[in-house]
Amino acid sequence: MEYRIEHDSMGEMKVPADKYWGAQTQRSHENFPIGVGLETMPREITRAFGALKLAAARANHTLKPEKLTQEKLAAIELAAKEVMDGKLFDNFPLVVWQTGSGTQSNMNANEVIAGRGNEAAGKKLLHPNDDINMSQSSNDTFPTAMHIAAVEALEQKVLPAVQVLINTFQRLEEENQGIVKSGRTHLQDAVPISFSQEISGWRTSLERDMELIKLSLEPLRELALGGTAVGTGLNAPKGFDTLVAQQVSEITGLRFVTAQNKFHALTSKDELVFAHGALKALASDMMKIANDVRWLASGPRDGLGEIFIPENEPGSSIMPGKVNPTQCEAVTMVAVQVMGNDAAIGIAASQGNFQLNVFMPVIAYNFLQSARLLAESILSFNDRCAVGIKANREKMHHNLYNSLMLVTALNPYIGYENAAKTAKKAYKENISLKDACVALGFLSAEEFDRVFHPEEMV
């Protein structure tokens, strides 16, 4: 491999000749051989850095045109847009497990944009610190990148995915109107419910999750940029924070504002904790929905067997013909991962000391993994399972009329205790509720038929 010599304030470093990064990125690459190739800084963060560096350059050009000239802005624009477009991703090798402020990833962005910009300009025009990092600090850029990436992930990935599944459930509700089945509580038989009502519970859970996620988006729209090192805004011109937030909004097409209190913005990660709590709520509901579906589809002969789901692949290497609810299993594993991520994020967010939290990369990594996994697993579950759910009407009817909890309909006529005696006798002697009720003398056969209508219990 060919190398070139780059330098920083600590001296010279050998850097691969075909890469745009400089000495500080190389130092981090060598000093943190932890999870290399597996736990690289999320690309959502890399793209966010491209956006915020472009926004900062535009703001600096407006406020300090004598320092950030039009020529420099043009070179930065070209390079930053390439970062945003993913064209330079192979120049961002750093891992999550680095400095807790994300300083090295900030410098990675500074060096790559400077290197690519200088190449485009055909001369040494840009300096990573003096130009690309102008009016900034790692301490305000990394929190800003986290918020940009989080808002993009929630608005562009998670919410659209959830809406797709909501739409599927709405269709299933309409298609299954009028089908009455046995309800279940505590995994035991319960009073009847319509299949549409059961599906409506799934749908409404997801609609509520969307409301919670949207609520959590508002605090995430506040950006730390402009606070610089400790929140005072040292070395940033007046009005930079407001202007740069406007530029980020224009560049991303999403709404952002400057944080009112930069001291809070640098040290507290409560916005991300709150937003991830909404993702955990979504994960909890997806766990419940996926478990409901695989329970209802269990069988095909010795389980509940009340619904059919798509058969996507063989389920066993030894049992021929076995097909498993694999999409449900993927969703539930994702839910477990998200719940674990939530614990990590909460602990990391509690570790702010004085003017900075230094657990930011792990927060970003876990948050964005949760968002990505939820969005992708929900779409996969929708496309490969939910859209193909069909009611097994015969099995639902059989289970409904085999349920002893239909006896609840008799409470107003024979009382709770007599109804309990009826159910126990029917279960013990393996006879129908009607035969048990008549045998006990609580109702005549004609009276039983007049008051006992399971389909009307929903």
Question: Which residues are identified as catalytic?
Answer: 186, 316
Torsion angle of alpha carbons 269, 273, 278, 283, nearest 10°? 130
DSSP state of 124: S
Nearest alpha carbon to residue 152 among 63, 88, 236, 220: 220
Residue type, 13: M
d(CA 50, CA 244): 13
267 vs 129: CA distance, rounded Å: 23
Neighbours of 402 (CB within 10 A): 12
φ/ψ (deg, to 5) at 454: -55, -40
Alpha carbons 42 and 24: distance in angstroms, whole number:
19
- One-letter identity of residue 67: K
**CA proximity to 325, closest of 335, 307, 310:** 310
- What is each CA distance from 252 to 9, 33, 41, 44, 155, in whole angstroms? 34, 33, 20, 12, 12
Q: Check: CB of residue 393 under 8 Å from CB of residue 194.
A: no
Cis amide prior to 300 (ω within 30 degrees): yes
Q: Which of 378, 402, 335 is nearest to 184 (CA)?
A: 402
Q: Report the C-alpha gap between 51 and 165 in whole angstroms.
A: 31
Tokens 């930079």 found at: 240
Apex CA 97: angle with CA 94 and CA 98, to 5°?
70
Token representation of residue 338:
């998200």
Q: Which of 135, 126, 144, 139 is nearest to 49 (CA)?
A: 144
Q: Which two tokens stand for residue 259?
A: 């944080």
Query: Number of helices (H) and strands (E), helices first, in the chain?
Result: 17, 10
Q: Which of 35, 43, 36 lies closest to 368, judged by CA? A: 43
SS (H, E, C) 63-86: HCCCCCCHHHHHHHHHHHHHHHCC
